[in-house]
Amino acid sequence: MAHIIIPPGWKIPEQQATPEDIYLDRRRFIRQLGYSGLGLWGLLSGLSGRGLSAASGPQTSGIYPAPRNAKFTLDRPLTAEQVAATYNNFYEFTLDKDRVHELAKNFKTSPWRIEVRGEVEKPFTIDVDDLLRKLPVEERLYRFRCVEAWSMAVPWTGIPMKKFIDLARPTSQAKYMRFVTFLDPKQAPGQRTQSWYPWPYFEGLRMDEAMNELTMLVTGIYGHPLPNQHGAPIRLIVPWKYGFKSIKSIVSIEFTREQPRTFWNQLVPDEYDFWANVDPRVPHPRWSQATERIIPSGKRVPTLPYNGYGDYVAGLY
Q: Taking the alpha carbons of 221, 178, 313, 308 in that order, is the dihedral positive or negative?
A: negative
Residues 172-201 that bind ligand MTE (CB under 6 A): 181, 201
Choose between 17 and 119: whose C-beta lies nearer to ligand MTE.
17
Cβ proximity to ligand MTE: between 88 and 262 the closer is 88
Distance CA 230, CA 107 (A): 12
Q: Which of 103, 104, 146, 161 is the binder for ligand MTE (CB under 6 A)? A: 146
Piece in contact with ligand MTE (CB under 6 A), picked from 72-80, 159-167, 244-252, 284-292: 244-252
Near ligand MTE by CB under 6 A: residue from 140, 178, 224, 248: 248
80 contacts 18 by C-beta, under 8 angstroms: yes
| CA angle at 151 for the pair 242 and 30, rounded to the nearest 5° | 110
CA dihedral for 302, 303, 304, 309, sign (positive or negative)? positive
Min separation Cβ 254 and ligand MTE, Å: 16
Task: Give the closest residue to 214 by CA, choosing from 110, 72, 114.
Answer: 72
Q: Which stretch binds ligand MTE (CB under 6 A): 127-135, 168-176, 238-246, 278-286?
A: 238-246
| Binding span for ligand MTE by CB under 6 A among 11-19, 56-64, 241-249, 285-293 | 241-249
Of 31-39, 43-51, 132-140, 243-251: span binding ligand MTE (CB under 6 A): 243-251
What sign results for the dihedral spanned by CA atoms 268, 241, 299, 281?
Answer: negative
Which residue from 246, 258, 70, 93 is spatially nearest to 155, judged by alpha carbons? 70
For residues 66 and 170, which CB has a smaller minimum distance to ligand MTE in the complex? 66
Identify which range of 43-51, 87-95, 126-134, 288-296 contacts ligand MTE by CB under 6 A: 87-95
The torsion angles phi and psi of 142, rounded to 5 degrees, stand at: -125, 150
Q: Which residue from 81, 92, 254, 292 is in contact with ligand MTE, where contact means CB under 6 A?
A: 92
Query: Kindly report the CA angle at 216 between 213 and 221, in degrees rounded to 5?
Result: 130
Q: How many CB atoms lie within 10 A of CB 62?
A: 13
Among 18, 48, 86, 88, binds ligand MTE (CB under 6 A): 88
Where on the chain is the footprint of ligand MTE (CB under 6 A)? 88-92, 146, 181, 201, 230-231, 243-244, 246-249
